[in-house]
Amino acid sequence: MARYALVPTGRDPADRLAQVSRLPDGWEVALTTWDATGMTDPATRPQLARLLHAIRADELNGLIAPSRTDISVFPDIYEDTLRTIHACGGFLALVRDETEL
């Protein structure tokens, strides 16, 4: 599994990544990464693309992120990205509820 966060351009990712530092028992992190692109289309984020490729290649089984805003604040884009993650064979776990921003 990988930890993933989205941060505003030029900001330090430490705060967002700290939110995904505690994991459920038995979960192991293979990779921690972030995109510093701000709220861009998830399909254009280089690190998210890297993680999706790793899921497709069976190198990762899923992602954990602080909240749905790390994927998108737009419901349609968020749902499309969830479908993409699932189609790759992976999962997305959120530290917060989907409706909590």
Residue 21: C-alpha distances to residues 9, 42, 64, 95, 98 (Å): 22, 22, 10, 10, 18
Output the CA–CA distances (angstroms, integers) from residue 28 to 15, 20, 32, 61, in the order listed. Answer: 20, 12, 11, 10
Lowest mean pLDDT among 32-36, 65-69, 93-97: 93-97
Domain of residue 72, residue span: 2-94
Tell me if the pTM is above 0.85. yes
Which amino acid would we find at residue 51?
A: L
**Whether 50 contacts 4, CB under 8 Å:** no
Higher pLDDT, 1 or 24: 1
Over range 38-48, report the average pLDDT: 90
- 20 lies in a domain? yes
Looking at the domain assignment, is residue 77 inside a domain?
Answer: yes
Note the pLDDT of residue 96.
Answer: 83
User: How many domains does the chain contain in total?
Assistant: 1
State the CATH number of the domain containing residue 86: 3.40.50.1390
Question: Does residue 41 sit within a domain?
Answer: yes
